[in-house]
């Protein structure tokens, strides 16, 4: 191979000004000119003056060497290699053209590399991101390196200033290159190292040979971006590293003023130049020019290079959603990879505006202590992220970028909490009420992982816009979130309920945060029968509530309807023509008006108890001050308040009382109603086997009492965890005979919804209705299935439906021993148990109903025809 050395050196001498890296190992070592680091004891320069592996003869060994190299775009990489082995998934070499860190074995190393060998025996160009497996940039031809002991190749890779990659190779080791392919990829724009990585089986420890490494940058730098972080400073970003020495004379504004007085390359990022100006920048669109700027390798851009930017001013106090909380570490242990400390991340979503943080407060509403306050002079640049933590924890986060250590940083509850950012004028800037169900991952919610916002352009959203971090370290403090994704809010705000707090004040409850300014517009609200609204006051910090002040007092228990015209949520979605809710001025409750309607006392793993109450009177009632209790065997009662604030219970209305409505919704997604789930700070302890639940009014008088037991559950149920007991008849007594296990077909509980086992009256006979009796399962949208509706005379039935063809052969087991509500529907789509379409003809539906408690068994047969359209 060294016979190519002379022409190669001649080529080198002709372009030394632009060579970023050259090593032919002609000096017999790899420790200087340039210096390679890594597994130095496992490499050698052999007698042929080639770099050769010399590692341990152990299968699965990984070796690496790296040397400094910052070349990125407008660059050519060349090298020679010979793999004297049969390449495979465990025997290959990666030549890293760009790497952001010196450890090529680390999973988080980012950059680009050429793989020689691997399972496809190819020469291919890959990109490696911080997470995930490498991905192809150029997929080389398979079986290119197919020799068992002599895979010789010279490789050339070029990356144009437009980020177009070209991969070429010569299998004779010369310079007659064959193109493998081209592709555009601009993912990584920074590099610090060039290197080689080899992995092998035990017999191939000395089988990797490398030579003639050359990295050439022959293109001048390009000016990419300008930003003004301060009135008299401009930061210019180039597409590659520029020369250390910079001259103010190389830069000017196209307007000629203010003049540039100094130009300094950034100490950390060699692609950035900081310009100091003689006077403040004017507002508006500005153009900066650069002339005779050299890159780090001597290539000069004569220019002028120009870039235009918008100056919108500097360091302004943030308004609503102009400063965001984008990441929350509420439970820092066990440690995954981040410091063992609570923190939140804040973000300036603007692309142009510098945010003045001075005087901004971070707090938890209701806390009596002093809030955490950002110091005067603190700013957040456009698009910038910063970590906020306790004042004694700042050093732990220094490696993550900008950090604000605040005195009185609030303690974050693991399960659920509310955080608010308030401006120095007291206005709410941002609010989030998080819960550990937002993780959607039971492992991650146990600690060490952050919650991250998905779409920062949708700051008002709750659970749907937050997820557990997917970063291997447990979070992404100080940088863009790992779960970031487009997640717009296209849902209009809905008026959930309304309540008269007193004769002249009505409170409206909305399903999401409102535009507080728009929500204060009086003409949006009407009450019928006619009641004049004098004032509308949205309530912070989350602006889900609006209090209406009325001109005249309301009459007690008089039904009204509150209507809102075009309510706007905080991202501008309008509710449409109108959204409304019933209300009235509540009247006092008496025993028997409200009864216990459903109880879940033995929840599933990770679940919570709930007790549902129903208003069976014609009254509008306020549950404020009521209590829910568990009567113990000694007749003492463990009681907890139902609500410290006003909550209206409509005639016939339901409320499911629980500490975690979010968990109830998660475990009963299709049979719960969020509008009728009322969160309580605490519930009495209800034993899993038996107990007595008691409901009290605000005066401590008993409204209802129910003694429950797991013996009341349907005997056919193998497991009653997560199965509620439901009231059968609302007007009936609160005793065991009037309660039954919720039906399996609705998920075994109906929190906030009508009971699956409810029965309007005691009388009735079983009825089966089949419609249509002829159907055509051809997916044309017309009679594609048949429905078998049932109405049972009592709860507690189990049912089976088996379908036979006209010859008596089994076609489909549609239902097998399913616990049933008192009424429902089954559907047959015309498919057999094999998933095939049933043949045209007559079919018999054999229905079996069995009631274990009474031993009754009933059998029915229905005929149906599977047809076909002509």
Residue 693's alpha-carbon distances to 268, 609, 613, 636, 748, in angstroms, are 66, 12, 11, 12, 20
C-alpha neighbours within 13 Å on the C-beta side of residue 546:
33
3-state secondary structure of 655: strand
pLDDT for the residue 716: 65
How far is the C-alpha of 62 from the C-alpha of 249, rounded, in Å?
50
C-alpha 61: how far from chain center:
38
How far is the C-alpha of 276 from the C-alpha of 248, rounded, in Å?
9
How far is the C-alpha of 634 from the C-alpha of 656, rounded, in Å?
27
Please, what sign has the CA dihedral across residues 37, 41, 46, 50?
negative
pLDDT for the residue 354: 87
How far is the C-alpha of 651 from the C-alpha of 671, rounded, in Å?
21
How far is the C-alpha of 828 from the C-alpha of 1, rounded, in Å?
75
Tokens representing 673?
């109603």
Contacts of 376 (CB under 8 A, 6+ apart): 358, 359
3-state secondary structure of 678: strand
Please, what sign has the CA dihedral across residues 438, 443, 444, 448?
positive
Hunting for tokens 């109880």 — which residue is that? Answer: 599
Burial 526-557 (b: 16+ CB within 10 A, else e): bbeeebebeebebebbbbbbbebebeeebeee
**Distinct helix (H) and strand (E) counts, the chain:** 3, 63
Q: CA nearest 280: which of 309, 259, 249?
A: 259
C-alpha neighbours within 13 Å on the C-beta side of residue 7:
5
3 state SS for 524-585: HEEEECCECEEEEEEECCCCCEEEEEECCCCCECCCEEEEECCCEECCCCECCCCEEEEECE
Q: CA nearest 506: which of 526, 488, 490?
A: 526
Weakly modelled stretches of the chain, pLDDT under 70: 1-19, 312-313, 575-577, 715-716, 759-766, 779-782, 784-785, 870
How far is the C-alpha of 848 from the C-alpha of 842, rounded, in Å?
20
How far is the C-alpha of 459 from the C-alpha of 787, rounded, in Å?
45
Tokens representing 125?
């160009």
Q: For the beta carbon of residue 17, count every other beta carbon within 10 angstroms.
A: 9
Tokens representing 808?
């008596």
Tokens representing 266?
């950034």
- The secondary element (H helix, E strand) that includes residue 99 is strand 92-99
According to DSSP, the residues that pair with 144 across neighbouring strands are none
pLDDT for the residue 746: 86
- The secondary element (H helix, E strand) that includes residue 516 is helix 516-519
DSSP E strand boundaries for 626-710:
627-631, 637-641, 648-649, 654-658, 677-679, 690-696, 702-709
Contact 813, 802 (CB under 8 A): yes
pLDDT for the residue 713: 85
How far is the C-alpha of 683 from the C-alpha of 627, rounded, in Å?
10
Please, what sign has the CA dihedral across residues 670, 674, 677, 681?
positive
Cis omega before residue 334 (within 30°)? yes
Which conformational region is residue 200 in: left (phi greater than 0), alpha (psi within -120 to 50 degrees), or beta? beta
Contact 489, 459 (CB under 8 A): no
Contact 397, 477 (CB under 8 A): yes
C-alpha neighbours within 13 Å on the C-beta side of residue 292:
8
Q: What are the backbone angles phi and psi of residue 604, rounded to the nearest 5°? A: -70, 170
Residue 688's alpha-carbon distances to 244, 598, 723, in angstroms, are 73, 15, 11
How far is the C-alpha of 809 from the C-alpha of 816, rounded, in Å?
17
Q: CA nearest 444: which of 563, 553, 330, 315?
A: 330
pLDDT, one tens digit per residue, over 186-229 is 999 888 899 999 999 999 999 999 999 999 988 889 998 998 88
C-alpha 759: how far from chain center:
43
How far is the C-alpha of 492 from the C-alpha of 525, rounded, in Å?
17
Please, what sign has the CA dihedral across residues 682, 686, 688, 693?
negative
How far is the C-alpha of 307 from the C-alpha of 275, rounded, in Å?
14
How far is the C-alpha of 159 from the C-alpha of 167, rounded, in Å?
9
pLDDT for the residue 14: 33
Tokens representing 178?
């064959």
How far is the C-alpha of 289 from the C-alpha of 251, rounded, in Å?
6
Q: For the beta carbon of residue 244, count every other beta carbon within 10 angstroms.
A: 10
How would DSSP label each residue in 133-180? --EEEE-PPTTSS--SS-EEEEEEEEE-TT-EEEEEEETTSSS--EEE
Tokens representing 406?
């605040």
Q: What are the backbone angles phi and psi of residue 665, rounded to the nearest 5°? A: -65, -40
Going along the chain from its start, the domains and CATH numbers come out as 2-217 (2.60.120.200), 223-311 (2.60.40.1220), 324-468 (2.60.40.1260), 495-583 (2.60.40.1220), 594-746 (2.60.40.1260), 767-866 (2.60.40.4070)
């Amino acid at each position: 191979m060294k016979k190519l050395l002379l022409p190669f050196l001649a080529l080198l001498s002709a372009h030394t000004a632009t060579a970023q890296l050259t090593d032919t190992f002609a000096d017999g070592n790899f420790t200087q000119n340039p210096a390679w680091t890594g597994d130095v004891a496992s490499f050698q320069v052999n007698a042929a003056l080639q770099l050769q592996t010399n590692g341990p003869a152990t299968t699965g060994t990984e070796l690496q060497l790296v040397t400094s190299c910052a070349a990125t775009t407008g660059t050519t990489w060349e090298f020679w290699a010979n793999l004297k082995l049969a390449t495979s998934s465990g025997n290959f070499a990666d030549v890293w053209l760009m790497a952001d860190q010196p450890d090529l074995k680390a999973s988080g190393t980012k950059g680009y590399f050429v793989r020689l060998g691997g399972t496809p025996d190819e020469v291919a160009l890959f990109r490696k991101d911080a997470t995930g497996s490498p991905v192809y940039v150029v997929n080389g031809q398979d079986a290119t390196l197919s020799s068992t002991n002599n895979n010789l190749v010279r490789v050339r890779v070029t990356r144009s200033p437009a980020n177009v990659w070209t991969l070429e190779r010569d299998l004779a080791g010369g310079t007659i290159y064959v193109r493998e392919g081209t592709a555009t990829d601009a993912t990584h724009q920074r590099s610090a190292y060039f290197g080689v990585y080899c992995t092998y089986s035990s017999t191939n420890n000395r089988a990797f040979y490398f030579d003639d490494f050359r990295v050439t940058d022959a293109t001048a730098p390009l000016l990419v971006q300008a930003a003004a972080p301060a009135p008299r400073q401009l930061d210019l970003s180039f597409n590659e590293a520029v020369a250390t020495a910079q001259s103010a004379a190389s830069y000017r504004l196209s307007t000629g003023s203010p003049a540039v007085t100094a130009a300094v390359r950034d100490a950390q990022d060699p692609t950035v130049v900081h310009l100091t100006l003689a006077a403040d920048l004017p507002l508006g669109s500005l153009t900066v020019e650069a002339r005779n700027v050299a890159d780090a390798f001597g290539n000069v851009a004569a220019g002028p290079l120009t870039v235009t930017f918008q100056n919108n001013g500097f360091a302004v106090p943030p308004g609503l959603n102009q400063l965001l909380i984008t990441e929350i570490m509420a439970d820092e242990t066990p440690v995954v990879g981040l410091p063992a400390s609570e923190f939140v991340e804040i973000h300036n979503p603007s692309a142009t505006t510098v945010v003045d943080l001075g005087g901004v407060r971070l707090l938890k509403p209701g806390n009596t202590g002093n809030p955490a306050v950002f110091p005067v002079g603190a700013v957040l640049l456009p698009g910038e992220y910063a970590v906020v933590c306790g004042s004694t924890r700042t050093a732990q986060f220094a490696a993550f970028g900008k950090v604000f250590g605040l005195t009185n940083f609030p303690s974050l509850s693991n399960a659920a909490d509310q955080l608010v950012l308030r401006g120095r004028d007291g206005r709410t800037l941002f609010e989030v009420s998080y819960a550990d169900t937002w993780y959607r991952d039971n492992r991650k919610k146990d600690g060490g992982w952050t919650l991250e916002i998905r779409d920062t352009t949708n700051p008002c959203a709750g659970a749907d816009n937050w997820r557990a971090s997917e970063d291997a370290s447990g979070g992404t403090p100080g940088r863009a979130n790992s779960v970031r994704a487009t997640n717009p809010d296209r849902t209009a705000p809905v008026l959930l309920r309304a309540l008269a707090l007193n004769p002249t004040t009505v409170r409206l409850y909305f399903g999401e945060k409102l535009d507080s300014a728009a929500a204060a517009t009086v003409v949006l609200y009407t009450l019928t029968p006619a009641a004049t609204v004098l004032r509308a006051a949205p309530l912070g910090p989350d602006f889900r509530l609006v209090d209406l002040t009325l001109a005249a007092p309301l009459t007690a228990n008089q039904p009204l309807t509150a209507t809102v015209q075009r309510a706007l949520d905080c991202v501008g979605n309008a509710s449409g023509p109108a959204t409304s809710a019933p209300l009235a001025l509540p009247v006092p409750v008496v025993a028997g008006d409200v009864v216990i309607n459903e109880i879940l006392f033995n929840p599933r793993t990770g679940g919570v108890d709930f007790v549902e109450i129903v208003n069976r009177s014609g009254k509008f009632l306020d549950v404020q001050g009521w209590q829910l209790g568990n009567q113990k065997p000694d007749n003492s009662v463990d009681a907890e308040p139902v609500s410290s604030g006003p909550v209206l219970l409509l005639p016939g209305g339901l409320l499911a009382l629980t500490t975690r409505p979010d968990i109830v919704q998660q475990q009963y997604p299709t049979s719960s109603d969020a509008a009728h789930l009322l969160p309580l700070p605490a519930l009495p302890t209800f034993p899993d086997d038996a107990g007595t639940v008691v409901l009290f009014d605000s005066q401590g008088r008993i409204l209802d009492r129910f003694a429950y037991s797991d013996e009341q559950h349907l005997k056919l149920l193998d497991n009653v965890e997560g199965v509620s007991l439901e009231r059968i008849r609302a007007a009936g007594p609160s005793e065991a005979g009037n309660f039954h296990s919720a039906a399996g077909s609705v998920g075994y509980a109906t929190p906030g919804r009508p009971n699956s086992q409810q029965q309007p009256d005691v009388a009735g006979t079983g009825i089966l209705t089949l419609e249509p009796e002829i159907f055509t399962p051809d997916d044309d949208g017309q009679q594609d299935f048949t429905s078998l509706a049932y109405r049972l005379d009592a709860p507690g039935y189990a049912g089976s439906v088996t379908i036979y063809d006209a010859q008596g052969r089994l076609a489909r087991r549609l239902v097998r021993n399913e616990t049933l509500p008192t009424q429902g529907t089954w559907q047959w789509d015309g498919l057999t148990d094999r998933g095939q379409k049933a043949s045209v003809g007559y079919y018999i539906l054999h229905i079996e109903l069995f009631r274990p408690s009474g031993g009754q068994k009933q059998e029915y047969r229905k005929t149906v025809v599977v047809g076909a359209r002509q």
